[in-house]
Structure 1
Amino acid sequence: MTNRPQRGKITSTPAGDLPRWVRDEIMHTAPKARRDPALIELSNGIDAFASERYGKASHHLEKAKDLAPQAATIRELLGLSYYENGQWQKALQELRTFRRIAGDPMHMPVEMDSLRALEKDRDIENTWDRFRKLDAPRAVQDEARVVYGSYLLEKGRIREAWKVADPGRLVSSPAESTVRRWYVAARIALAANDHQSARKLIKAIAAHDEDFPGLLELRAQLG
């Protein structure tokens, strides 16, 4: 049995500079004649993605996918490009394929957000139930709670939403994903007319980032 190359984070790859683990992945998954063309298209796709040209990124990554369909990195970045372009169904398909190939749940929050946009409530519930059983990294857990908590809030399921967002202890040096979780929790607290909790959360968010997106709206709602 051939060992899969150790994966890194594709979104942290410098534009136009493919790291060893990406090259190894293509070597393991593509026929010899297709490897160099796949690497060229992938490199162009990463460059476009890093420049937030998601349509162009999709164009190159679709070509890379045709050349190396079993490369998890290609399916991952193609799915994220579709997501950024609002192509929810395509994003969902590619990110599910990425998860199947790589065995990595890191983009399940993006899957759930795509399902929210597609208004597939039962699939959101099922994906959340599957995610809860996995041992995902803390940052991924935070993002999943942000998405699912927001979904429950939209559905008016305030008590459930609060349990999911669960802001925990308001530490002085939070991770970015934790602050996003606090933000959702503050929205839920306001919806529940729990102004005391909302005020504490807003203060904690502001202490971390006074320019956090949505903070002004929260303050306006609090009054």
Structure 2
Amino acid sequence: MRGDRRTGRPHRDHGTDSPPPRRAAAPRTERTSRGDRFERPATGRGQARAGRPERSGSDDRYSATSGRSGDRRAPARTTSARPASARTAPARNAAGRGRAPRVEEDYEATRGSRPARGAEIAIPSGADPKLLDPSVRSELRSLSKLTAEFVGAHLVAAGQVIDTDPHKALEHARAARGRGARVAAVREATGLAAYHAGEWAEALSELRAARRISGDPGNIAVMADCERALGRPARALKALDDPAVGKLDAATRAELLIVVAGARRDLGQLDAALAVFERGSSLDVKNPRPGSARLWYAYADALAAAGRTEEAIQWFGAAAQADFDDETDAADRAADLL
């Protein structure tokens, strides 16, 4: 497993030079919307799971810096890695119930030093819960104030290092989950951090939990990619049958088509992969939408694999023209085929 050079997202080698996968989001900070809550910007040339372009961005709802997922051949996260504390309910302030209430200094004392719980990673001094996106802070209000601050600080810390040290980001996310396992944003953050760290089974488990809690289908493509990474491409194909697919925004739907087409290629069904791209109006070059550049790149990559070089050049060119954020190396790929 290598990290995609363009987006920094983890991916599995699959024998194709497809566009780099889009990064799954990282904890959201105030600067971004939900889709960017956990993702980080992509960099480098795409060698995503078959047929997937790397995409940038992570979910900035949680991170103090920023960037959802691309070559989603799903990373499998190991559920065994979940701490037992993740199954417990959030802590409550016990004032008036026989225990002395915790004071604000208790939380502040954990910053920059190892918390009392020896198994938990220390909260860095710059991890301020106030950096979280308002939507995440709103979800954390179901916890006591001190618990919300602890969980929020770990979410911010996860977002700050997810690009440079995804395993450390996952440690922070697990620490947050240990005290906020009933909060959808916490489970989503843990799932996305696990995805970046290559823990596909854990990522899938956490993202499923997040969807059960919130009902939000926004990470369908990441979950399908996790199935691919776990060696279950047939399961990834079922994602297109999800009743929520019709409600997805254009960018998320494009990512899902890329993942499902990649799953078809995993199964050796190249013609079927091309058919996935050709459904609906996704190949309308006169009407580019969010995600079109990555979708057209992946389509061009599949065409090249099928020996349809002239068409591949045309679609790499279309992808390059629609790639205003420079997420792919479409122009270089087109030039390589000339």
| Larger RCO, structures 1/2 (Cα 8 Å, 6+ apart) | 2
- SS across alignment from 2:242: helix
Q: 1:194 to 1:89 in 2, by over 3 A?
A: same
User: Size of the alignment, in residue pairs?
Assistant: 213
Q: Which amino acid aligns with 2:153?
A: I
> Structure 1 pair 117/218, CA: closer, same or farther in 2 (3 Å)?
farther
5+ residue gaps, structure 1, are 1-6
SS of residue matched to 1:171: coil
Question: What is the RMSD of the two structures over their aligned residues, measured on CA atoms?
Answer: 2.6
Distance 1:211 1:39, change over 3 A: closer
Query: Once the two structures are superposed, what CA deviation does each residue of 1:131-182 show, in whole Å capped at 9, x if it has no partner?
Result: 675411111100000111122123222232112112511137653x211111
String of CA shifts for 1:86-130, please: whole Å, max 9, x gaps.
111111111111111121111111111111111113321233322
Higher helix share: 1
Structure 1 position 185, deviation (Å): 0.9
User: 1:40-79 counterparts in 2 under 5 A?
Assistant: 40-49=153-162, 51-79=163-191
Q: What displacement does 1:65 show?
A: 0.6
Distance 2:238 2:289 in 1: 29
Q: Distance in 1 between matches of 2:243 and 2:310?
A: 31
Give 1:80's match in structure 2, choosing from 176, 186, 192. 192
For the residue of structure 1 that corresponds to 2:328, the secondary structure is coil
**Normalising by structure 2, what TM-score?**
0.57
Partner of 1:192: 306
2:293 paired residue among 176, 179, 187: 179
3-state secondary structure, aligned to 2:141: helix
> What is the TM-score with the length of structure 1 in the denominator?
0.83
Paired amino acid for 1:98: A
Give aligned-pair identity as a percent.
Answer: 25
- 1:122 corresponds to: 234
Cα distance in 2 for partners of 1:20, 1:203 equals 39
